[in-house]
Every structure is written in structure tokens, then in C-alpha cells.
Amino acid sequence: MTDGKRRVALVTGGGKGIGRAIAGRLLADGFDVVICGRNAPAEPPSHEARAAEFEACDVRIADEVQAMIDRIIARHGRLNLVVNNAGGSPEADAATASPRFSERVLALNLLGPLHVAQAANRIMQSQPEGGSIVNIASVSGVRPSPGTAVYGAAKAGLLSLTESLAMEWGPKVRVNAVVVGLVATEAALDHYGGEAGMKRIDAMLPLGRMAGGMDIAGVVSFLASTDAAYVSGAKIAVHGGGERPLFLSLAQMNGG
């Protein structure tokens, strides 16, 4: 910053998984980082002697989001970057998922990012340097997502929202999305069937492994940098080359 103050970043859901990796990378990049969630992590993300600040906030509730942004501005006087990372969904059969379940998944994965983006945009539009918003999307939004159909639909909506907001809010605010593939997070062992299951998934991917949190964090770091000053409305796929179609594996098994 020209006034010598650090840039300020907000990472929703920044206490664990991908969000924690992103928060740590942004601290290393020199940002003052705020993370938010419903519950504080046992230890906040940190880098050397600096740690992220925690804000209690349910991003599904617009009033809570606005109050959080107001507190960040009161402390720091600016907001340069928002990473909409909070999201996820348990598995559920689309035929029997309750209306309440579907509404909560949509609220967390689509409306929450919109609430945060709107509140951040109001600040960023008034800043001489503008700002940047990065939405963490998913391959579930660009291919079928059986078992998490509502989540996939929400992430597809988030990708559409990214492009629309980039068009509406430029030139002051850049809005981009990271389309995340399979990631080896803390819950991956259980989710993918243990070490053997993870090895099968690794072998299916062109780059030979699932992503780590730092793979996603590096792309967010780029999108937040001046190197990406002309990147807006982009959907950057970080999926290791994509998932191998099942029919190719079946053809190999059958000697095709």
C-alpha cells in the first residue's frame, strides 16, 4: 500500500481445510488476515509471529455479515481482498432431501458468498485501490454431482454469479473463481475410503495426486496480486488435469 499499511484480507471458513491454507499463504504474502466461521479454531492460521484474527459469523445471515465487515473496517480502515471459501454439504439423495436441507445448502454455498461479496463491494468501491473477490467454487458445479446435487447446483450458480459481478462491479472490483477439484483435506481419509481409496483417486488424476490446500492457496495468491490486475470474471480450474472418464478405465480393463 502507498501509505505503508498492510493489505487486509477476509477468508470465510478460514479455520480449517482449504481456507486455513489460504489464510496462511496470505499472511506469508504480507496481508493482515481475518477469518470467520461459526466457531473459532483451536489455533488460528499463522505465519512466523503473525496470526489471523477471528470473527464469529454465520455467512448465511446477511445482518451478521454486514456487522462483521463493519468491525473489520473499524479496526483496519480497509478491505482489499475477500475469499469466499466457506461451503460444503453432506451427502443426500436428491429424491428425498428435505426442503430445509436444500435451503441450508443453497444458503451456505451461494447466498452466503453473495452476502459477503455485497458487503465487501460497498467498501471496495469507495477505496481508491478498489479490491478483489475470489470465490472458491468446485468441479461439482461443472459436472454431475450425484449425492450432492444441491451443492453442485449452488456451485454452478456461484460460477455464474462470479461472471455477473465481475461485469457489474468493474473497474474498481475484480471478481474471479477457483474451480477446485479433489483435495486431500483432513477429512479425505474417511471420505475417500482410507489410504487405499486415496491412492486409487490419485492414480486416476493426470497429475498423479489430489490437490493439497497450498495448491489452491497459490492460485488465490496470484489472483490477489498485481500480476492478475487484468484478470476478472475468470474461472480457473485447479483439478490436476481433470477426472479420468470411467469409460476409459472400463475400456482398458476389457482390453479396448
Question: What confidence score (pLDDT) does residue 61 get?
Answer: 98
Q: Above 70 in pLDDT, residue 96?
A: yes
Q: Is the bond preceding residue 171 a cis peptide, omega within 30 degrees?
A: yes
Question: Could you report the per-residue pLDDT of 39-80, keeping only the tens digit for each?
Answer: 999 999 999 999 999 999 999 999 999 999 999 999 999 999
- List the one residue out of 192, 234, 232, 235 whose CA is nearest residue 211: 192
Q: Residue 143 pLDDT more than 70? A: yes
* 83 close to 24: Cβ distance less than 8 angstroms: no
For residue 187, pLDDT over 80 is answered with no
The third-level CATH classification (topology) of the domain covering 8-253 is Rossmann fold (3.40.50)
- Give the pLDDT mean for 214-234: 98
Pairs from 13-17 (Cβ < 8 Å, separation ≥ 24): 13/37, 13/85, 13/86, 13/87, 14/45, 14/52, 14/83, 14/85, 15/39, 15/40, 15/41, 15/44, 15/45, 15/54, 16/41, 16/185, 16/186, 17/183, 17/185, 17/186, 17/187, 17/213
Rounded Cα distance, 193 and 182, in Å: 14
Please name the residue ranges forming H helices in the chain: 17-28, 62-76, 99-106, 112-124, 149-169, 188-191, 194-204, 213-223, 246-253
Which pTM value belongs to this model? Answer: 0.93
* CB neighbours of residue 196 within 10 Å: 8
Crossing angle for the helix pair 149-169 and 112-124, nearest 10 degrees? 20
Q: Is the pLDDT of residue 2 over 90?
A: no
Quote the CA–CA distance of 176 and 202 in Å, as a whole number. Answer: 27
In angstroms, rounded to a whole number, what is the distance separating the alpha carbons of residues 65 and 111?
Answer: 11
pLDDT at res. 196:
82
Catalytic residue status for 192: no
Name the active-site residue from 52, 110, 133, 151.
151
pLDDT bucket at 253, cuts 50 / 70 / 90: low
**Across residues 84-104, what is the average pLDDT?**
97
Per-residue pLDDT band at 139 (split at 50, 70, 90): very high
Q: What is the pLDDT of residue 249?
A: 63
